[in-house]
Amino acid sequence: MTQDTQPTASHYIDGAYLEDTSGDAMAVIYPATGARIARVHAATPDVIDRALAAAEAAQADWARLPGRERGRVLIRAAEIMRARNRDLSILETYDTGKPLQETLVADAASGADALEYFGGLAGSLTGEHIPLGDDWAYTVREPLGVCVGIGAWNYPTQIACWKAAPALACGNAMVFKPSETTPLSALKVAEILTEAGAPPGLFNVVQGAGDVGQRLVTDPRVAKVSLTGSVPTGRKVYAAAAAEMKHVTMELGGKSPLLVFDDADLDNAVGGAILGNFYSSGQVCSNGTRVFVQTGIKKAFLTRLAERLNGAVIGDPLDEATNFGPLVSEGQLNIVMRYIETGLAEGARLVTGGQRLDRAGYFLRPAVFADVTDDMTIAREEIFGPVLSVLDFTDEAEAVDRANATDYGLSAGLFTRDISRAHRVIGALRAGTCFVNSYNDAPVEMPFGGVKMSGVGRENAKAAIEHYSQVKSVYVRMGDVEAPF
């Protein structure tokens, strides 16, 4: 990393970088080599307090600006992000290990899309007029106040922007805590927002682990918490927020189904399964990790999938020819390898991959299991790594029942040429974000989120506005008040 691309301190508070070395030191590891590339310090209670105080001070004036002016700042930030896409992508690659080939198109680019989209919406966040005979009422869409964003480690730039953009568009301020595994990228988002004209304190970044997150969530100054993380963390954060009736958005884990029917276009279905299992080395919450394949197409599907996996270029993520990078950390690699061992022990057939590469860094060959049954651990638990499970099915209704037999409900997809079946099956699948003849598209115009244990609330699209604002109703009497006494 060059001096320019690296953030210069651990935290970003009140419009500037802030260092406080009295917090616990956290090493930042480059997943492709295992080498330490930076060190940040966890936020102390004093740093957390400064971030929340700065956000609170900035919020009221920001909310008073015309929405169009707030929007202009966000759109300017989007332009800066696009202009610096390469530097930001390199930083994201150092943070996560994801190949530059991916980060160049998926991370700062998607963050910029969110800033641009919500910047455009900011001027149109209006209430309504409600005629009531001679009287009338109106509603005002008001911000919530200080929002806390807490991120997972797989998309540090995107998660920061997906939370900040709608929050700021609606007139809120934010304190964001990245995952301790990937602390760098969100700092650059904060720096860019300041450069684009965001007032000091509007978007702050503090580092730390779960205890810092918990302190933020429970602070009485905080009106809303948006978490991207696992279900166990979601439960804790939701419960803590509920104690003080705070608003929440919960973007949690999944074990999503992808249904491939006999009549599917084979290469598109295989492509969808690859995108839905191996992008970002499989570390994507919405992945379609349970691939239900109808028996008539199973052999051809497995053969083509194994062939196309030979096209995976595994190696140095900074080489733009690489399309499959390491896992984010040694801990995550060990978790995934344990699941592969469990899959084998429970009788699943490993078709390809699953071995650690004999080199530095946390590299694992993308794994495909066949003959997986619904009761196997690898078919029930979220692995969050490059492990695809193929489960056989014969009948549509049976496939739908089995696809729905999970506590999760983040995403679902299918491949078929039968348009009626496509919509019938999507209608029956219990998931928040679905795909027909595709997988894992996440344009900012489309709401994203889960049902059941996969979460509450929606990110992106106009739906996100509901989760970063509240409606005030005002009744206006035009005549006299008639009281009983």
Q: Active-site residues: which are they?
A: 163, 251, 285, 459
Instruction: By CB under 6 A, tell whether 226 contacts ligand NDP.
Output: no
Contact 206, 48 (CB under 8 A): yes
Helix (DSSP H) and strand (DSSP E) numbers for the chain: 16, 20
The pattern of x and - marking residues 341 through 380 that bind ligand NDP according to CB under 6 A reads ----------------------------------------
Contact 146, 55 (CB under 8 A): yes
Instruction: By CB under 6 A, tell whether 233 contacts ligand NDP.
Output: yes
The Cα-based distances of 67 to 5, 70, 73 in angstroms read 32, 5, 10
Query: What are the structure tokens assigned to 330, written together?
Result: 């040694």
Instruction: By CB under 6 A, tell whether 461 contacts ligand NDP.
Output: no
Instruction: By CB under 6 A, tell whether 152 contacts ligand NDP.
Output: yes
Instruction: By CB under 6 A, tell whether 180 contacts ligand NDP.
Output: yes
Residue the block writes with tokens 């197409």: 297
Query: What are the structure tokens assigned to 293, written together?
Result: 């394949």
Residue number with CB closer to ligand NDP (139 or 214): 214
- Considering only residues 15, 151, 288, 317, which one is a binding residue for ligand NDP as defined by CB under 6 A? 151
- Considering only residues 202, 285, 309, 461, which one is a binding residue for ligand NDP as defined by CB under 6 A? 285
**331 DSSP assignment:** H
Give me the least distance between CB of 93 and ligand NDP, in Å please: 17
Give me the least distance between CB of 317 and ligand NDP, in Å please: 19
- Considering only residues 364, 382, 391, 469, which one is a binding residue for ligand NDP as defined by CB under 6 A? 382
Instruction: By CB under 6 A, tell whether 108 contacts ligand NDP.
Output: no
Contact 74, 122 (CB under 8 A): yes
Q: Among the candidate windows 6-14, 68-76, 152-160, 185-193, which touches ligand NDP by CB under 6 A?
A: 152-160
Give me the least distance between CB of 230 and ligand NDP, in Å please: 3
- Considering only residues 34, 127, 197, 210, which one is a binding residue for ligand NDP as defined by CB under 6 A? 210
HSE (CB half, 13 Å, CA atoms) of 336? 27
- DSSP assignment of 424-460 equals HHHHHS--SEEEES------TTS-B--SGGGEES-BS
Q: Among the candidate windows 11-19, 33-41, 192-200, 221-229, which touches ligand NDP by CB under 6 A?
A: 221-229
Nearest to 31, CA basis, from 278, 229, 233, 281: 281
Q: Among the candidate windows 33-41, 68-76, 91-99, 209-217, which touches ligand NDP by CB under 6 A?
A: 209-217
Alpha-carbon dihedral angle through residues 152, 154, 157, 160, given to the nearest 10 degrees: -20
Residue number with CB closer to ligand NDP (38 or 130): 38
Residue the block writes with tokens 């390898």: 337
The pattern of x and - marking residues 437 through 456 that bind ligand NDP according to CB under 6 A reads -------------x----x-
Residue number with CB closer to ligand NDP (115 or 269): 115
Residue the block writes with tokens 């568009």: 169
- Considering only residues 85, 110, 228, 281, which one is a binding residue for ligand NDP as defined by CB under 6 A? 228
**Cβ-closest residue to ligand NDP?**
213
- Encode 258-327 in three state secondary structure: EEECCCCCHHHHHHHHHHHHHHHHHCCCCCCCEEEEEHHHHHHHHHHHHHHHCCCCECCCCCCCCCECCC
Alpha-carbon dihedral angle through residues 351, 357, 363, 367, given to the nearest 10 degrees: 0
Read off the amino acid at residue 367.
A
Instruction: By CB under 6 A, tell whether 315 contacts ligand NDP.
Output: no
Give me the least distance between CB of 167 and ligand NDP, in Å please: 16
Binding site for ligand NDP (CB under 6 A): 150-154, 177, 179-180, 209-210, 213-214, 217, 227-230, 233, 236-237, 251-254, 285, 382, 384, 410, 450, 455
